[in-house]
Amino acid sequence: MIGHLTAALEQIDIPADWIGIRAMQEVSSWRAMRDGYPQQNDHGLSQGAMVEVLAAGQFGYSATNQLTFESLRKAAQQAYNQAITTSQWAIYRFTQAVRPPVKGSYISPCVNTFDGMGVGEINDLLRQLCKHLKVSTAVVRTSAIARTHNVDTWFVSSNGSQIHQKLAMVESHLGAIAQAPGVTQSRTDNGYLARSYQGGWERFTEDDLWERATRIGQQAVALLEAPDCPDESTTLVLAPDQMMLQIHESVGHPLELDRILGDERNYAGGSFVKPKDFGSLVYGSKLMNITFDTGLEGELASYEFDDTGTPSERAYLIRDGILQRGLGGLESQRRLNVPGVACTRACSWNRPAIDRMANINLEPGETEFESMISSIESGVYMESNRSWSIDDQRQKFQFGCEYARKIENGQLTTLLKNPNYRSTTPKFWSSLAQVGDGKTFKVYGTPYCGKGEPNQLIRVGHASPVCAFEDIEIFGGAA
Amino acid sequence: MTLQTSVTVNVSNSYSSINTATQGSVHRNHRYRTTFEQLVEAVARYQIDNQPSDDLQETHFTISLTGEESQFTRFNQAKVRQSGHVRDAQIKLTLISCHRVPAQDDSDSDNEVHQDGRTASTTIPFTGDFDVDWPLTQSALTRLQQELPLLPVDPYIVLPLSAEADNIQRRQTQTVLSGHLLNESDIANALLKPVHTLDFSGFYAGGLSYRAYADSAGKRHWFETPSFTLDYSLFGGRAQEAVKGTFAGVRWQQTAYEKSIEAAAKQLTLLTRPVKALPRGSYRTYLAPAAVADIIDIIVWGGGLGEAALRQGNSAFGKLEKGEGTLSEQFSLGEDFQRTSLPRFNSSGEIAPARLSLIEGGRWKNSLVSGRSAKEYGKPSNGANEEEAMRAPTVAPGTLKEKDILNELGTGLYISNLHYLNWSDLTAGRITGMTRYACFWVEEGEIVAPIENLRFDDDLYRFLGEGLIGLTDQQTFIPAVSTYDRRSLGGMWVPGMLIDQFRYTL
């Protein structure tokens, strides 16, 4: 494909300063079972190319699902016209410097390839999982989902870039809904599709799969009898599967440079973070260390290059509680004159690359889980996100979880249903009092981070240890 | 006085109209339709050639097309941030196999039973070039044929019904709407010249959209329309000093656009007053139509108005359906395809009724029932899509006159827009979210100050129940501006809503 795109590039005859072609092919399968019956057995092929042109200091783009020379040539002409006709209104005069020439490749880990398991076998596995989830008649709905994706991206440019990245990904879900008169409770496998990874079937058929399915069903039923989470301010311990959401919404999004620049104001919103804050803002307690790390093996948004060809390196976004750098690629870094990372990404060939999260992780501390719980006289432990909402400046949030336990005198005690908490971002992270050690560190991801105009859903990864926050407002069934 | 900033122009409601007139600046791609028809015929031939030798074994197919030619232009600070064009289309091909068990009486074909049903689908690119598309389709068909016998039996398969077997369905429909959109090269000038002195941020999305359906039972549906949406914000000097507007339709009107901007800019001046920070608590609240649309949107997409969600314990409306909860008799929610430019056919080729009441006078009336739920739960399908989500929502108006809104509000909050809504407890009907854009503190019918954004968390059985004071006597069209996967079509018709003691929690 690199040869085809390079030859196509050579045939494009427009007076542009720079031309890039990003072609992509995604082969997917979606298998879903509900209550032991097939809900979905779908395949998907998506392929096409985004041609991007820099002329008169302005980028223009055109995307097509035909990869012929003629189609790519037409797309380049159209992209050039877009750049020229809007250049007088350009928000910034870009140069080739934001598209560095790079050659390289990346292949995600994959042990058991997707064609190694037959469709009958996959469906049987999902059906068996539904059986494990239905631990009693109180379980009124079970679901098991397995999705696979093989994604190839090729990038060539007029200044010599040649990149091929090849990703294999698995996204899975297990869920049970239980009902008793007047009460319904739901439990999932760390949140909807939270088990999304780079890799092959080995990331789905893990040793504890059956045990997890049974536990999900049992916990959904147990929650029916549980009291509501109390309304109080207390010590809140969050499991890594809720930390994923907490990091995503209250660290990842506010650090996106395009939000700070105002590009996103009309849709997802802005940020309370100001350009002058980089290097000085106390974002959280000294225990807070957040990294951008596209090199953590198996995490969903791992790569070597972003979608503009910028090589990616691990970097601290927040170190010892102090804001270091933002989530923005070379375009935003130039416009804002602040440090960023290689995170200009597109969800597919038919969308332009913008500032996105990739793998954003909270680095582990030194506290063992048992000693963290034993140090808390009174508090609540919560797992698995079920509800999330935050304001357009990423300050006032309210998050809900599926499952909670009381912490009393250093012990996990009563099961609690409908646990929620609310706070504001800087206050919350400043209350970070304990960070779990490496044994509590878990990796999750989501295929559904929404942003951008045109809208894009992109895959991101988040890893975190268990964390404890002091004096947080929690509440249960009623607001 | 009105603070409403949603403006919609030229929303066509001419369902089933056939118009082949020249499209102004819209370049219609006739090859899409021709190629789609060729593909359907080729698939039908393939299906005949590959029918199992067993006369009682059957294979059926459905094909759905979604496609668009789109211009996307993104603005920030009254400048162009990104501008581009996307040409994209795909077809979803579904094969359904089953074993036909003849009825006892040969003349009673309606009572034939189908057993051992299996369904598999594949989505592939559609380029509009038959020579490119047919090999891909053929390869997909071969794969599906090989896969079907390996799949478990699906007791709820949805077979394409022939027009004769389903007397409420129309066999073939075509809707080709006309319009006039801005030339791509004119968009930046046309949109930015009127706002060059303002802090304007927004997104224009426009072009042609295609939807089509065909199946082995002979159903054929075609829908195409030009359309545009402009979703914009004007900002003042402070972060929360902003007004939101939308402008949408099938025919661009520069004068109407400029009037919309003028109105929004005038409202922005109200936001320059000192901001009032309110303590959490319950406040009498007026939700303008755009804010009501935000609430209806979350109800439509995840509230569980479908039969499957209700039966599977995944709905906010379980209590209403069972009669264990009630809403205000002023509240009625339904679908109305006659007032918006949308295809009425679903992914099974069924035509939804032009109007369908879901909640009437505060009481449950109908759930959305897809073909699959019809099979599983023994209810007649009403042409709902697979997700059983509303496509053309409308909330009935009330009696509150626009001129009386502030007086009726008295002292409380005027909320123009909401943001980032989610279910804080789905089955209890509890929704949380934030206020956004032009939101004001009102005292004795007079706007006093813009507010600092607040988080709300309230139970819909309360705020659409005893808490619902009234609805405006006029509905406003709020266009669907989402562009996930593709440009959305249509929108919703909603009134403003006056609510007693709306609960703000942070």
The three-state DSSP-derived secondary structure of A46-80 is: EEEEEEEEEECCEEEEEEECCCCHHHHHHHHHHHH
For chain B, the domain total comes to: 2
Amino acid at A412: L
Determine which of A27, A71, A265 to mutate to test the interface with B (most B C-beta atoms within 10 Å).
Answer: A265
Pairwise CA distance, residues B40 & B215, whole Å:
8
**A477 in contact with chain B, both atoms CB, cutoff 8 A:** yes
Pairwise CA distance, residues B255 & B64, whole Å:
38
> In this prediction, what percent of chain A has a pLDDT beyond 70?
100
Q: Are residues B102 and B194 in the same domain?
A: yes
Residue A224, both tokens: 């029916």
Residue B16 has pLDDT above 50, yes or no: no
H-helix or E-strand spanning residue A215? helix A209-225
Q: Are residues B27 and B120 in the same domain?
A: yes
Please tell me the predicted confidence (pLDDT) of residue B107.
56
Are the C-beta atoms of B359 and B394 separated by less than 8 Å? no
Please tell me the predicted confidence (pLDDT) of residue B35.
96
Nearest to A266 among B129, B203, B459 (CB): B203
The tens digit of pLDDT for each residue in A395-453 reads: 999 999 999 999 999 999 999 999 999 999 999 999 999 999 999 999 999 999 999 99
Are the C-beta atoms of B445 and B406 separated by less than 8 Å? yes
Q: Strand B476-479 to strand B455-459: parallel, antiparallel, or no bridges (unpaired)?
A: unpaired
Are the C-beta atoms of A382 and A433 separated by less than 8 Å? no
Pairwise CA distance, residues B426 & B302, whole Å:
9
**A152 in contact with chain B, both atoms CB, cutoff 8 A:** no
Nearest to B313 among A37, A85, A179 (CB): A179
Residue tagged 């088990």 (tokens): A195
Alpha-carbon gap: B48 to the closest alpha carbon of chain A (Å): 23
Cβ pair A391:B484 closer than 8 A: no
Give the residue from B250, B268, B286 where a domain finishes. B268
Cβ pair A392:B150 closer than 8 A: no
Pairwise CA distance, residues A33 & B144, whole Å:
18
Q: Could you tell me the pLDDT band of residue B7, with boundaries at 50, 70 and 90?
A: very low
Please tell me the predicted confidence (pLDDT) of residue B111.
59
Residue A220's φ and ψ, nearest 5 degrees, are -60, -45
Residue tagged 């003629």 (tokens): A70
Q: Are residues B120 and B224 in the same domain?
A: yes
Q: Are residues B208 and B251 in the same domain?
A: yes
Give the residue from B252, B268, B284 where a domain finishes. B268
Q: Could you tell me the pLDDT band of residue B106, with boundaries at 50, 70 and 90?
A: low
Residue B389 has pLDDT above 60, yes or no: yes
Return the minimum-mean-pLDDT range out of A24-28, A186-190, B43-47, B88-92.
B43-47
CATH of the domain at B186: 3.30.2290.10
Q: What Å distances lie between residue B69 and A63, B210, B343, B347, CA to CA?
A: 10, 9, 17, 21
Q: Are residues B250 and B281 in the same domain?
A: no
Nearest to A141 among B155, B205, B312 (CB): B312
Cβ pair B85:A79 closer than 8 A: yes
Residue tagged 């005893």 (tokens): B466
The tens digit of pLDDT for each residue in A150-166 reads: 999 999 999 999 999 99
Q: Could you tell me the pLDDT band of residue B100, with boundaries at 50, 70 and 90?
A: confident
Q: Could you tell me the pLDDT band of residue B170, with boundaries at 50, 70 and 90?
A: low
Averaged pLDDT, A130-159 = 98
The tens digit of pLDDT for each residue in A422-435 reads: 999 999 999 999 99
Report which of residues A215 and B30 the model is more confident about.
A215
- Helix A2-11 vs helix A69-86: angle between axes, to the nearest 10 degrees? 60
Pairwise CA distance, residues A145 & A168, whole Å:
17
**Helix/strand/coil for A167:** strand
Q: Are residues B201 and B299 in the same domain?
A: no
Domains of chain A: 2-225 (3.30.2290.10), 232-475 (no CATH)
Nearest to A329 by CA among A255, A245, A250: A255
Nearest to A398 among B88, B154, B424 (CB): B424
Chain B environment of A267 (Cβ under 8 Å) = 203, 231
Averaged pLDDT, B259-272 = 92
Chain A environment of B133 (Cβ under 8 Å) = none
Are the C-beta atoms of B385 and B370 separated by less than 8 Å? yes
Are the C-beta atoms of A179 and B313 separated by less than 8 Å? yes
Please tell me the predicted confidence (pLDDT) of residue A277.
98
Nearest to A453 among B203, B427, B436 (CB): B203
Averaged pLDDT, A12-17 = 96
Chain A environment of B434 (Cβ under 8 Å) = 389-392, 396
- Does B409 fall in a domain? yes
Q: Could you tell me the pLDDT band of residue B1, with boundaries at 50, 70 and 90?
A: very low
Residue B204's φ and ψ, nearest 5 degrees, are -100, 130
Residue B290 has pLDDT above 50, yes or no: yes
CA angle, B287 then B291 then B295, to 5°: 105
H-helix or E-strand spanning residue A3? helix A2-11
Residue A37, both tokens: 């019956």
Nearest to B208 by CA among B227, B189, B223: B227
- Does B28 fall in a domain? yes
Quick check: ipTM above 0.90? yes
> In this prediction, what percent of chain A has a pLDDT beyond 90?
99
> Torsion angle, CA of B381/B382/B384/B386, rounded to 10 degrees?
0
Residue B223's φ and ψ, nearest 5 degrees, are -140, 130
Q: Are residues B345 and B373 in the same domain?
A: yes
Paired with B90 in beta bridges are B66, B125
Q: What Å distances lie between residue A423 and A250, A321, B29, B241, CA to CA?
A: 10, 18, 52, 23
Alpha-carbon dihedral sign for residues B137, B138, B140, B141: positive
Cβ pair B453:A82 closer than 8 A: no
Q: Which A-chain residues 269-308 have CB contacts (< 8 A) with chain B?
A: 269-270
Cβ pair B432:A387 closer than 8 A: yes
Chain A environment of B201 (Cβ under 8 Å) = 262-263, 265-266
Pairwise CA distance, residues A61 & A265, whole Å:
22
Residue tagged 């427009």 (tokens): A14
Q: Are residues B311 and B193 in the same domain?
A: no
pTM, two decimal places: 0.95
Across chain B, mean pLDDT equals 90
Cβ pair A45:B73 closer than 8 A: no
Pairwise CA distance, residues A83 & A77, whole Å:
10
Q: Are residues B74 and B223 in the same domain?
A: yes
The tens digit of pLDDT for each residue in B361-372 reads: 999 999 999 999
Give the residue from B242, B268, B294 where a domain finishes. B268
Residue B48's φ and ψ, nearest 5 degrees, are -65, -45
**A74 in contact with chain B, both atoms CB, cutoff 8 A:** no
- Does B466 fall in a domain? yes
Averaged pLDDT, A83-104 = 97
Nearest to A118 among B82, B150, B430 (CB): B150
Alpha-helix residue ranges (DSSP H) falling in A93-148: 119-133
**A262 in contact with chain B, both atoms CB, cutoff 8 A:** yes
Pairwise CA distance, residues A167 & A165, whole Å:
7
Chain B residue closest in CA terms to A84: B185
Count CA within 13 A, CB hemisphere, residue B81: 29
- For A260-299, b/e burial (b = at least 16 CB within 10 A) is bbbbbbbbbbbbbbeeebbeebbbbbebbbbbbbbebebb
Chain B environment of A262 (Cβ under 8 Å) = 76-77, 201, 235
Q: Are residues B323 and B300 in the same domain?
A: yes
Domain carrying residue B380: 275-504
Cβ pair A266:B233 closer than 8 A: yes
Q: How many CB pairs under 8 A join A and B?
A: 240
- Does B1 fall in a domain? no
Residues 6+ apart with CB under 8 A from A276: none
Q: Are residues B29 and B141 in the same domain?
A: yes
Are the C-beta atoms of B296 and B494 separated by less than 8 Å? yes
**A233 in contact with chain B, both atoms CB, cutoff 8 A:** no
Please tell me the predicted confidence (pLDDT) of residue B237.
87
Q: Could you tell me the pLDDT band of residue B169, with boundaries at 50, 70 and 90?
A: low
Pairwise CA distance, residues A126 & B11, whole Å:
46
Q: Are residues B179 and B294 in the same domain?
A: no
Amino acid at A257: L
> What is the DSSP annotation of A376-389?
-SEEEEEEEEEEEE
Please tell me the predicted confidence (pLDDT) of residue B63.
97
Residue A479 has pLDDT above 70, yes or no: no
Averaged pLDDT, B405-416 = 98
> In this prediction, what percent of chain B has a pLDDT beyond 90?
82
**A60 in contact with chain B, both atoms CB, cutoff 8 A:** yes
Chain A environment of B192 (Cβ under 8 Å) = 89
Nearest to B359 by CA among B310, B414, B420: B310
> What is the DSSP annotation of A412-469?
EEEEEBS-EEEEEHHHHHHTEEEEB-GGG-EEEEEEEEEETTTTEEEEEEEEE--EEE
Q: Which A-chain residues 191-210 have CB contacts (< 8 A) with chain B?
A: none
Cβ pair A119:B147 closer than 8 A: yes
Running DSSP on this structure, what letter comes out for residue B451? Answer: B
Nearest to B235 by CA among B197, B188, B277, B288: B197
> What is the DSSP annotation of B379-430?
-------TT---SSEEE---SB-GGGHHHHH-SEEEEEEEEEEEEEETTTTE
- Does B223 fall in a domain? yes
- Does B389 fall in a domain? yes
Residue length of chain A: 479
